[in-house]
Amino acid sequence: MYLNTFLYQFGLDPDNFENELVEPFESDDGFIIYNLRQRIDERICPECGCLNAEINNYYWTETNFTTNEGNPVVIRIKKTRFKCRECGKTFTPKIKGVERYSKISKQIETFVINEFYKQKSFSIIAKDYHLSTMQVMKMFDKAFPFIPRGTLPSALCIDEIGFKTFDGSYAAILYDHDKKVVIDIIRNRQCDYLRDYFIRCSFKERSNVKYFISDLYKGYAAIKEEFFPNAIHIADMFHVIRLLRIEISRLRVITYKQFTDEEDVERFFMKQHWDYFERYLNKELADKPYFCRKENFEYTTWHMMERCLKLNMDFWDAYSCLQDFYEYWRCRSFEQAILWIEKVIRQLKRTENENLVRAAKTYDKWKNEIANAITVKNYDGRRYSNGPAEGLNNAIKTIIKDANGYRNFERFRKRALLILRYRKDPSRNA
């Protein structure tokens, strides 16, 4: 390989080096080492401009590079220290592609910075480029001292994700419902943190939010009323239904523990097919055959479910209410949705079960937001939900899992925004 081609491969300027044959050799730790010599005919003093500086001494430096195949390369450069005859200053001419005192080349830095936009942990990046994890983290902090948040969208989703800090266990995530991208990550979902965040957003920006989508956390309701009073508050139906599914799961366990023996068919069915009781009962599920080995007879799934539900009337009533919830799509107007929700509330309260009554009170408190979730639709005729947020939450959890957790919240925030927001943006965060 010609010397010029070799140097251009690593982002070095051939004019900085002596044109001579370069023979590589391999070190004990697997690095390919090249020895180069800096030119000695460039003797212009940067202080006074004198053209006739004299050689003062020589010294060697080592800088890490990598080939296109990812093989580690160390380039040793014999640098020349000059001394100006006029002003007496000593200097070493700069070499393009190598920072002074740096053991990591600009080529490596560029490659590593591009890796930050990919879903790879700092330790994996460090391993790929034969660096330490601390070096990679320092490069990240230097390259991205600040990552701007996105503008508040017309349809704002807010959700939380588990992230332990000294002052809380949940971070709040803001999403754009329509574009399905992360807007920002807030350190804590508590009202004080949310209030401090949104108060720094301009009134004009907050006024652009037309829909505020959240789960049933009361802190979000308070923030919505304070900062987005004109926006339509929509409760996420996943969390609405999930509240009742949790109670059904609890009642299912109580039923097979209190009303059945170890060998009962119903007990075995409830433990084996627990998910049937939390799903929508369509014809396909109801008519699905179930062969009971103990009784040596084939039943339908609904027949077995009915046998289990009749063991506990609270279980039966809760399941009936859940099936009503799954048919929320039948409501065509806000008024119909309110009547339908109130009907479910009355059914739950009639059970006199403490937990079901508590769920009914929650639904009663949020019935307007639930009715909005049922009836309000976006430009393409779909209902608003936190579905996009839940999908992006899984991606954020993967980022945390790949890194085995983050101790520094700001570093986690910047990394998540780079991967989930700016990776597909041509301008990125420039």
Measured CA distances, 247 to 215, 240, 251, 252 (Å): 17, 12, 6, 9
Q: Where are the domains of the chain?
A: 3-103, 155-236+385-422, 238-375
Check residue 2 and give its pLDDT. Answer: 65
Strand pairing report for 32-37 and 72-83: parallel
pLDDT surpassing 60 at residue 255: yes
- Over residues 100-127, the pLDDT tens digits come to 777 788 888 888 999 999 988 999 998 8
Nearest CA to 73 among 96, 107, 99? Answer: 107
Query: Phi first, then psi: what are they for 385, rounded to 5°?
Result: -160, 175
Q: What's the average model confidence in pLDDT over 326-349?
A: 91
155-236+385-422: CATH, from 3.40.50.12500, 1.10.4190.10, 3.20.20.150, 3.30.420.10? 3.30.420.10
Q: What's the average model confidence in pLDDT over 358-375?
A: 94
Lowest mean pLDDT among 25-29, 82-86, 333-337: 25-29
pLDDT surpassing 70 at residue 360: yes
Q: How many CA atoms lie within 13 A of 217 on its CB side?
A: 17
Strand pairing report for 72-83 and 155-165: unpaired
Check residue 158 and give its pLDDT. Answer: 93
Q: What's the average model confidence in pLDDT over 256-279?
A: 92
Which band of pLDDT confidence, cut at 50, 70 and 90, is reported for residue 20? confident
pLDDT surpassing 50 at residue 160: yes
User: What's this model's pTM, rounded to 2 decimal places?
Assistant: 0.80
Which band of pLDDT confidence, cut at 50, 70 and 90, is reported for residue 4? confident
Structure tokens of 418? Answer: 């780079």
**DSSP SS3 for 35:** strand
Q: What's the average model confidence in pLDDT over 378-392?
A: 80
Tell me the sheet residues that pair with 306: none
Residue 83 makes CB contacts below 8 A (sequence gap 6+) with 53, 54, 55, 56, 89, 90
Check residue 367 and give its pLDDT. Answer: 94
Give percent of the chain above pLDDT 70: 97
Check residue 55 and give its pLDDT. Answer: 87
18 with 7: CB under 8 angstroms?
no
Check residue 430 and give its pLDDT. Answer: 40
41 with 1: CB under 8 angstroms?
no
